[in-house]
A and B are shown apart, each in its own frame.
Chain A
């Protein structure tokens, strides 16, 4: 019986296989070939790793993504657990508002940051009113940081909330019955139970930040994150081999982080956007 169905199953996978083979696997293979087809061959990777501009950009990107991940996890962790555990009026609206930016493309996020801390931003106006000096963060590392935070928080909050909902509340009650203080309950019960969710959403957050392009593009900051470098290499310098090599490197890093997280968390993990 099972063997008899096989041809059907192949047929059912055929459209996906065709689309995928033609427009993902083949292009990715081409990308790898192109990277090493330049004048320096496979040396291109070595060149990428020894050119100060690229290494600096890579370091900035990693540092920024890591910082965003940590801060997002802390903020969303607290808010997410708080929202699952407590019921109060207006909670639904609050959750809806917190998850609304989930569907924003990077450019819109960039625009939001300009409105908030840009030259004509709200924060600038307020600080000017209070101290006389205008605080403008949008076009620096801080602006990028806020932008990445902006698109990371909604994603992580939804994952944490889903994970927190699954926690058996009797575990906490048991800990309390054994005399654990609220802090100990958090440390010994809540956080361990959330670990898979934290790992997976943290990895997604990190990988998404590494590859984020739209936000940096809109903010047009003085700091070049790796995706922007790749973009300029490709469009302005027409250095296609280097752009390919760098994007392979970037892809490897995000893929590796997500694979590691998946092994660690045992759940399916993916970046989006």
Chain B
């Protein structure tokens, strides 16, 4: 037993006193409700007859309260849930104002609201005399609680992306709302429902003003009994009320419980990934579609074309300048660029999640799909955060697109099994999404996108959420997959090594426009401008003078004939560029440059040196891994003349 400090006991005593203050009268009322005479106490005898009296006198109030509570719940569900969805979905001035209005009843005393209702609708006698009058007050009072509760849960998961995921699989608006939005918002709807019902049952402030002698609710009846009946009856009636709200409170606790547990999922998830056995290790396991006799048919991808696709956002920013791209059937094109360069916008236009500015056109094959929404485009899309539906298990996620398309149950089963085998995740088929590791989610997302045999596969930074080692493994997997399927794929990334490894062609983008389109080799060896050269790998800049057909360097000069890629355009000074691997350390007196070593990084197969020459900025060069270099040493550097480039700014 841990030793507790005096402070602990002081706090405990205080807490217990507070508790006593709250609970002692509750106990008293329970006692009073079951004793013959409260003043005499228990020894006067125990009885249940007061409950009989309550039943006689106030039976109708109990039923009326339950009915009003249920009706109120129904009304708040119909009005509150769609409104909450709209508010989460579209956040603009209008919805914010609406939200602001919706919560004002919480800030205004019930008495004032009741007065307002009486003044406005008191004249409608039929309405005034019915329970509907009370119901209206309850709905206004409880609606904010429902909306809040649902909004809280809807904002806790990435609603927009889940919906986009469903849309990419072909689900229309109604289907998305009922199959994706509602099931995932269920904890909020449930919590809100319990809250609304409990509040409605216990509401007094409004109800007292709105009731008539014929429309008494339970709390009104309570007030009545406290004022006019003997204490024992009031107490028994109170016990009835307790019995009604205790299950509701317990249910609320229960609903709030599991949600708390789901929060630490993330660290737990990572841990499992670490402690997994070797057979489950995520190493390079090439999916077995090659030597699989149940090989899925090759998906014949379509060619696609974007013409003059620009995108201006609502706030006026130009996210994408007029953009043209043609992709052959079966080709993998990687769109590469720093964040904010417009690459995701471009992909979303292609997917049909955004529409291009007028005059922009998107073609799949010969079909103009510019105005076709994503759910009709038949594209497979893999999202950065995967957008797997948490309300469905792995197999259901993969089957979703097929289900939307209305295929038979059996064909669906076969196709899902095929996908699970292909991605080697058969053992995960019944897992919940929350139980998957990052790499597993990635595979499920791929399987789900491919299962619908899309015309085009769109991948939005699919590996960004994974750690470096897993990323390398999955990159190889995706590469093999894309090639064996022969599918047209557009792959967006900011990682140059991913781009080099995966792309048949690479589109390098910068600030909303194309910087260069070419094969990985072209991009690397013949970058069109300095941005591309800098973004792909490392490049060194060397300013030098030109004299008599030679580049003048501190050491040996280089003749312009040898430096075949250098364009001088008649200038006397040019900046020439070269990659680190095109320079070597040579013996003293043999090099083009002489430089001091500032830092050296041993990388195993080679050593990377940062050097400072007399006439240049810092240069990065590579030497073999066998040599070791001390900082501060002078070295001679020779550059391969044919690799020297001149670039546009």
Contact = CB atoms under 8 A, between A and B. Distances in A.
A96 B257 CA distance: 13
A255 B104 contact: yes
Interface string B230-270: 01001000100100010011000100000000000000000
Given A112-B25, A153-B22, A19 B75 contact: yes
A11 B39 CA distance: 60
Contacts of A190: none
Contacts of A214: 204-205, 208, 219, 223
Contact of B352 (A1, A28, A88, A114): A1
Interface residues of A, number: 90
B208 A213 contact: yes
B12 interface: yes
Given A15-B78, A17-B98, A120-B39, A243 B140 contact: no
Nearest to B41: A125
A273 B83 CA distance: 23
Contacts of A231: 111, 209
Interface stretch (B85-93, B275-283, B385-393, B592-600): B85-93
Contacts of B16: 94
B511 interface: no
A75 B14 contact: yes
B82 A15 contact: yes
A28 B116 contact: yes
A258 B90 contact: no
B120 A26 contact: yes
Contacts of A24: 101, 104-105, 113, 116, 140
Interface in A10-59: 10-13, 15-20, 23-28, 30-31, 34
A143 interface: no
Contacts of A243: 115
B113 A106 contact: no
Given A25-B101, A79-B18, A86 B8 contact: yes
A6 B86 CA distance: 9
A100 interface: yes
Contact of B148 (A12, A88, A268): A268
Contacts, number: 256
A250 interface: yes
B24 interface: yes
B79 interface: yes
Contacts of B103: 268, 270
B404 interface: no
Given A17-B98, A31-B116, A247-B115, A150 B144 contact: no
B347 to A, nearest CB: 13
Contact of B25 (A15, A94, A113): A113
A94 B19 contact: yes
A213 B205 contact: yes
Given A13-B98, A20-B102, A34-B119, A2 B226 contact: no
A116 B95 CA distance: 47
Main secondary structure of the interface of A (DSSP, over half): helix
B609 interface: no
Which of B11, B90, B111, B198 gathers the greatest number of chain A CB atoms within 10 Å? B111
B111 A211 contact: yes
Interface string A237-273: 0001001100110110011001100000000101111
Given A1-B373, A97-B19, A254-B109, A13 B219 contact: no
A45 B347 CA distance: 61
Nearest to B202: A105
Given A82-B12, A270-B106, A248 B112 contact: yes
Interface string B69-81: 0000001001110
A98 B22 contact: yes
Interface in B105-134: 105-113, 115-117, 119-121
Given A13-B86, A114-B226, A182-B7, 5 more contacts: A4-B373, A17-B83, A75-B14, A79-B18, A211-B205
13 contacts: A13-B83, A19-B140, A23-B137, A24-B104, A27-B120, A82-B11, A94-B19, A103-B202, A105-B219, A107-B222, A247-B116, A254-B107, A270-B103
Question: What 10 A-B pairs come out closest when comparing CB atoms?
Answer: A211-B109, A270-B106, A27-B116, A12-B82, A16-B83, A247-B112, A112-B25, A105-B204, A31-B116, A82-B11
Interface of B: 7-8, 11-12, 14-16, 18-19, 21-26, 28-29, 32, 38-39, 75, 78-80, 82-83, 85-87, 89-90, 95, 98, 101-113, 115-117, 119-121, 136-137, 139-140, 143-145, 147-148, 173, 198-199, 201-205, 208-209, 219, 222-223, 226-227, 231, 234, 238, 241, 245, 248-249, 253, 352-355, 373-374
